[in-house]
């Protein structure tokens, strides 16, 4: 019986077989796969997502409000001495005037009651006299509040220019701003006497009059610029006005916030004025 040897595999060509001690070549499919999808390593970090850009000034209500509030708060926090000292001076003078406006008429009324016989009393005339004296003593509050606003507006201009306001700059500002604030207050007062609603409308329409005066506009021109800006940004202005109304009412319940509420209000107006005019707010300078 004849036996045949088992079929042998074809021998490799000379010089192509593996050599002892050297690694075998990797399969082509593995090589192509590794070249197509490399694993990220320390030398090849994963790509980072690009940071979103902030909305342009005057195009987003929340961004404009946030920027104006941040600008106002940082301006106060980074200039505490100037704002606190001037605010404390104005607050003390205001309190003295209010106390005098209440105490003096009461003393006059008490003197009239003790010196006039009961049969000759005329309560109506005495009440009118007391109210008249109170209004007379309250009159100095008006120019005092206007001066405080002018100082706050002047300091806002200094902060916008990258400076740090002094105590004197936070106390009093230019006459141009004083007359603008006086016009705004007079128009709002007259509107309030006319069934109250016109006064609210006037206070909204003239919300940016003082910032316009800070930028160099005359009192009448500042009123016109404010009305024009509000008409093109009515929704943003109403929200900003309501925000400041809430902040002012809350601050009036405490002593320390009252000292800085006027500067904060004017700084916020200035910040919204800049944003709605398409300008970025600078970072207030630090000490």
277 torsion bin: left (phi>0), alpha (psi -120 to 50), beta (else) = alpha
- The two tokens of residue 257 are 């916030």
Residue 63 and residue 114 in contact, taking contact as beta carbons nearer than 8 Å: no
Identify the pLDDT of residue 121.
Answer: 52
Identify the pLDDT of residue 35.
Answer: 45
Count CA atoms closer than 13 A to 81's CA, side-chain side: 7
First and final CA of the chain: distance in angstroms? Answer: 111
Whether 191 maps to a domain, the answer reads yes
**The CA-based dihedral angle spanning residues 160, 166, 168, 172, taken in that order and rounded to the nearest 10 degrees:** 20
Identify the pLDDT of residue 103.
Answer: 85
Whether 12 has a pLDDT exceeding 60, the answer reads: no
Q: Which of 138, 144, 58 has its CA nearest to residue 101? A: 138
Whether 36 maps to a domain, the answer reads no
- pLDDT higher at 47 or 180: 180
Number of folded domains that form the chain: 1
109 band by pLDDT with thresholds 50, 70 and 90: confident
Residue ranges making up the domain that contains 198: 61-113+124-277
Q: Which of 23-32, 215-224, 233-242 has the lowest mean pLDDT?
A: 23-32
- pLDDT higher at 252 or 167: 167
Most confident option among 19-23, 109-113, 253-257: 253-257
Whether 234 maps to a domain, the answer reads yes
Whether 24 maps to a domain, the answer reads no
Identify the pLDDT of residue 173.
Answer: 94
Mean pLDDT of the chain: 83
256 band by pLDDT with thresholds 50, 70 and 90: confident
- pLDDT higher at 2 or 242: 242
What's the rounded mean pLDDT across residues 210-231?
96
**Collapsed DSSP state (helix, strand, coil) of residue 52:** coil
Q: Which of 98, 133, 92 has its CA nearest to residue 112? A: 133
What's the rounded mean pLDDT across residues 224-231?
97
Identify the pLDDT of residue 120.
Answer: 52
Whether 6 maps to a domain, the answer reads no
Task: Kindly state the DSSP code that residue 244 receives in the 8-state scheme.
Answer: H
Q: How many helices (H) and strands (E) does the chain have?
A: 12, 0
Whether 223 has a pLDDT exceeding 50, the answer reads: yes
Whether 286 maps to a domain, the answer reads no
Whether 169 has a pLDDT exceeding 90, the answer reads: yes
Residue 236 and residue 272 in contact, taking contact as beta carbons nearer than 8 Å: yes
Residue 160 and residue 282 in contact, taking contact as beta carbons nearer than 8 Å: yes
What CA–CA distance (Å, rounded) separates 133 from 128? Answer: 9
What's the rounded mean pLDDT across residues 199-213?
96
Q: Which of 233, 261, 234, 232 has its CA nearest to residue 246? A: 261
Q: Which of 247, 224, 233, 239 has its CA nearest to residue 275? A: 233
Whether 21 has a pLDDT exceeding 50, the answer reads: no
Whether 46 has a pLDDT exceeding 70, the answer reads: no
Whether 136 maps to a domain, the answer reads yes
Whether 248 has a pLDDT exceeding 50, the answer reads: yes
- pLDDT higher at 248 or 3: 248
Identify the pLDDT of residue 116.
Answer: 62
Whether 34 maps to a domain, the answer reads no
Burial of 144 (0-12, 13-18, 19+ CB in 10 A): middle
Identify the pLDDT of residue 122.
Answer: 55
SS (H, E, C) 60-71: CHHHHHHHHHHH
Q: Which of 190, 193, 191, 186 has its CA nearest to residue 209? A: 186
Identify the pLDDT of residue 117.
Answer: 58
Q: Which of 151, 161, 141 has its CA nearest to residue 262? A: 151
What CA–CA distance (Å, rounded) separates 117 from 133? Answer: 22
């Amino acid at each position: 019986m004849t036996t045949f040897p088992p079929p042998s595999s074809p021998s490799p060509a000379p010089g192509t077989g593996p050599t002892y001690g050297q690694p075998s070549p990797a399969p082509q499919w593995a090589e192509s796969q590794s070249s197509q999808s490399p694993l990220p390593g320390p030398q090849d970090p994963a790509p980072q997502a690009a940071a979103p850009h902030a909305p342009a000034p005057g195009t987003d209500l929340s961004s404009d409000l946030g920027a104006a509030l941040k600008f106002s708060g940082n301006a106060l926090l980074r200039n505490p001495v100037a704002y606190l000292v001037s605010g404390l001076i104005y607050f003390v003078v205001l309190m003295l005037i209010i106390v005098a406006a209440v105490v003096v008429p009461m003393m006059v009324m008490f003197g009239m009651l003790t010196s006039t016989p009961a049969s000759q009393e005329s309560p109506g005339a005495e009440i009118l006299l007391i109210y008249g004296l109170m209004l007379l003593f309250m009159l100095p509050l008006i120019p005092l509040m206007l001066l405080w606003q002018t100082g706050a507006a002047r300091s806002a201009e200094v902060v916008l220019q990258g400076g740090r306001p002094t105590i004197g700059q936070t106390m009093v500002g230019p006459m141009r701003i004083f007359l603008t604030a006086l016009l705004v207050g007079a128009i709002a007062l007259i509107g309030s006497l006319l069934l109250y609603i016109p006064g609210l409308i006037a206070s909204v329409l003239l919300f940016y009059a003082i910032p316009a005066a800070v930028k160099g506009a005359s009192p009448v021109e500042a009123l016109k610029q404010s009305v024009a800006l509000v008409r093109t940004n009515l929704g943003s202005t109403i929200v900003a006005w309501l925000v400041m109304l809430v902040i002012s009412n809350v601050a009036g319940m405490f002593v320390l916030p009252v000292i800085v509420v006027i500067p904060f209000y004017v700084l916020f107006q200035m910040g919204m004025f800049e944003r709605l005019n398409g300008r970025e707010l600078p970072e207030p300078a630090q000490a």
